[in-house]
Amino acid sequence: MTDENTNLDPIDNFRAKLLLLIKSNPPTKNFMMKKRVKQQQSIELVENKIEIKVPQSYHISDLMAQKKDFIRKILIYQQKINTNLIFQFNYHGIKDIFAKFFFESLLELREFTLTFSNITYIGDSELEIIGATLNRKLNYLQKLRIQCSSSRITDKGLKIFGIELTKTKSQLEEISLNFSRCPHVTDKGVKILTSKLCRRLPNLKNITLDFHLAKITGKSIESIGYEVGNQESRIEQLKLNFERCEELADKNLEIFLLRLAKSQNSLRKFSINCWDCLNITENGFLNFAKTLIKNFQKLTSLNFKFNGCIQITKKSVEEFGLVMNEYGRNIQNLTLFFYGCDEITEEAKNKFIANVSFVPFLKLKW
């Protein structure tokens, strides 16, 4: 018998098979009615990404017991076309998530995203399991994204996670870690985790770190600058989120750039979110922006978000525009957010836009 999907391209063929699987594997009554909440498991294909979402009302035992063959089939299809697999879990059975049978089908996975949203069950021991399993099972993994906000995660958990994830040789080139809203994560945890990632992942090129609303100070960004800067000619993209870090100040930004200087020949994309970091002054921002533009000449993409930094005025915008015009000609993509900085005048905005008219992709918000 001829497969009717034979002539489809790999993505469309996979989509057709996935839709057929979903249609032929409807959730059972017990699976749907757990805790009397009428929610359905969601398994969707968005472009070339599989997204599996499990409502909070489910237990992992339901998914594994009733959908084991279904999930296994999906993973087999996924492997063939190397799509990105996204898991969004809202339950506490983390040990079962990383059960042996589950990851045996993921051995050649290149890209993996794991999101825990509004979870209080995830703590240090669970992070250890995640790091160890990813390191042992996903030997071909190149891109990893983890988002986990929990009051049970501490510096100890970040340290153990970093050790386990980097214990053996890894192919990881891109890593994105979001530990925002973790009130027990401090500068110490950020320093240890960043050290493990930068020193023990030899192929790492892109780093995204989000610690907004964690218990950190400006010392964290100094530590990141030191570790990334010591990886000479390797890190190409760095994205940092320090939103509402009240103790982040001018001096911390200055030290960060001094320590980051060794990577000036490799860094291509840089993004920083300092939303509502009220201790950043006008001079602090200007010195930071000028130093970055002048010294990091290989930059092609720059993303500044200083919303709510009320000490930034029209002077900052006007002088930054002049610096961009003189030193920032390689910038192809510029995002600049100054929403809530009420001292920036329309005249200053127009001058800035005129000075950066050479930038092909410009996004401004103020």
pLDDT of residue 138: 76
- The answer to whether the CB of 317 falls within 8 A of the CB of 344 is yes
Structural domains in the chain, CATH included, are 10-275 (3.80.10.10)
pLDDT of residue 45: 47
> CA angle, corner 268, sides to 263 and 271, nearest 5?
95
Question: Which pair of structure tokens corresponds to residue 187?
Answer: 């500068």
* Cα separation, 186 vs 38, whole angstroms: 39
* Cα separation, 349 vs 317, whole angstroms: 7
- The answer to whether the CB of 173 falls within 8 A of the CB of 144 is no
Are β-strands 42-46 and 49-54 bridged in parallel, bridged antiparallel, or unpaired?
Answer: antiparallel
Residue whose C-alpha is closest to residue 164's, from 125, 199, 135, 184: 135
- Helix, strand or coil for residue 338? coil
Prediction pTM value: 0.80
pLDDT tens-digit map of 116-143: 755 666 789 888 888 888 888 778 888 8
CB < 8 Å & 24+ apart, contacts of 62-71: 62/30, 62/31, 62/34, 64/96, 64/99, 64/102, 66/27, 66/28, 66/30, 66/31, 67/25, 67/31, 67/41, 68/101, 70/21, 70/25, 71/102
- The answer to whether the CB of 145 falls within 8 A of the CB of 114 is yes
Residue whose C-alpha is closest to residue 253's, from 232, 216, 279: 279
pLDDT of residue 67: 46
pLDDT of residue 148: 86
Question: Which pair of structure tokens corresponds to residue 7?
Answer: 């002539």
- Residue ranges for the chain with pLDDT beneath 50: 1-6, 10-11, 14, 25-43, 45-48, 50, 54-68, 70, 77-83, 88-101
